[in-house]
Amino acid sequence: MASHRKSRPAGTRVAGIRTPTLATAALTSVALLSQSANAAPEADDKPSLEEVEKKVDDLYRQAESATDKYNSAKEKTTKQRKRVDTLLDDVAQRTQKLNEAREELGSFAAAQYRTGAAAPDTATFLLADTPQDYFDQTQLMDRMTGRQKVAVDDYVTQQSETMKKRQEATESLETLTETQGDLKTAKATVQRKLADARDLLSKLTAEEKARLAAIEREKRQEAARKAAELARQQAAQEQAQEQAAQQQDSGSSSTGSGSSTSTAPADSSYATKAEKALAFARAQIGKPYVWGAVGPGSYDCSGLTQAAWKAAGVTLPRTTYDQVNAGTTVSLADAQPGDLVFFYDDISHVGIYIGNGMMIHAPKPGAYVREESIYYDGQSAIHSVVRPA
């Protein structure tokens, strides 16, 4: 006789409780999700390629900013060292003169000793803590001969000036020590940022490096597009200016004036200098970027612009922070070949404009002097344009 009991649903028991199949599946899903959650942090620990690129670019930019601080500290250290050397030489010369003045006074004291003369008491003068202390307590000057008075005056003057120069030299040495400390700090910062960037890049796979190169190409193409657009705008502006000049010349001729006002000589003067600066900059293309370098074998960004304009007879300061103030600020639309284009809010990079939205610059560590769009890092990265002469 067949059993009429209903069969139990398939399932399992957990701690004595029957678990339906659906509940089992749910527990399995929870377990899998838990495993995925545990594994997720490991996957998230690795930044995306775009994040790596941004981090590397930021590190290079920080290194370049630190490089300018290094350059500034190095320049100050060089100047301060020269000042210290000059002061020490001056102290040595004044000390020699002081010794000569002391010897002359000593000769008077010796003569007094030999003759037994009681006045003027030059020996007592020499033994006083300071000449002024002695003068305050005696009437020595009234008892001295003319020659002795001249010798004492000379001694007092030499002693005062020597003490003053020694104090200046001491203070300058302290300042030199401080600037040397700043120099070491800036150098260490540059080296640390570069090492961090190299470490990040070394962890990329071959596929990731290829992708990073593709991203860089896309950025260059976008920069080229913007440069071409700027070139078209500048060409249109120049054409409009030329047409306006022709109309002005035509009007002057019809009135029989026979002359016209022009600013060409000033523009021509700048163009001549800029041409020399650009010729020098082009000759440096292919040379490596090296932080703190001013040529001739390698350059950093401000070292290149400084050397280029020096070739044109114009002296620029060493760092981007100072170069941005060494000229007249102009709008990007009015930029002319030879102008300096500065980048980022901290003014940590500079290139020399060559026209059509392009520049020559020493880009960053690991790169070489090259022609590149001024939009290589986006238009927002452009800080200002300065005409240095």
Rounded Cα–Cα distance for residues 175 and 169 (Å): 10
**Residue 301 annotated to the active site:** yes
pLDDT tens track for 300-328: 999 999 999 999 999 999 999 999 999 99
Give which of 339, 368, 344 is closest to 355, Cα–Cα. 339
Instruction: Judge whether residue 223 has pLDDT over 80.
Output: no
**Residue 361 annotated to the active site:** yes
Instruction: Judge whether residue 93 has pLDDT over 90.
Output: no
**DSSP line for 293-335:** -BSSS-B-HHHHHHHHHHHTT----SSHHHHTTSSEEE-GGG-
For residue 264, count other CB atoms closer than 10 A to its CB: 10
Q: Which amino acid appears at position 355 of this protein?
A: G
In the block, tokens 């399932």 appear at: 11
- For residue 123, the SS3 value is helix
This prediction has a pTM of: 0.53
Q: What would the 3-class secondary structure string for 17-78 be?
A: EEEEHHHHHHHHHHHHHHHHHHHHHHHHCCCCHHHHHHHHHHHHHHHHHHHHHHHHHHHHHH
pLDDT tens track for 14-51: 333 344 443 444 434 434 444 444 444 444 466 677 77
Half-sphere exposure of 205 (CA within 13 A, CB side): 6
pLDDT tens track for 342-373: 999 989 999 999 998 999 999 988 789 999 99
**Residue 4 annotated to the active site:** no
Quick check: bond before 9 cis, omega within 30? Answer: no
pLDDT of residue 80: 79
Catalytic residue, chosen from 187, 193, 349, 387, is 349
Catalytic residue, chosen from 66, 301, 308, 341, is 301
- For residue 362, the SS3 value is coil
Q: Residue 6: which pLDDT band, with cuts at 50, 70 and 90?
A: very low
The DSSP bridge partners found for residue 386 are 329, 340
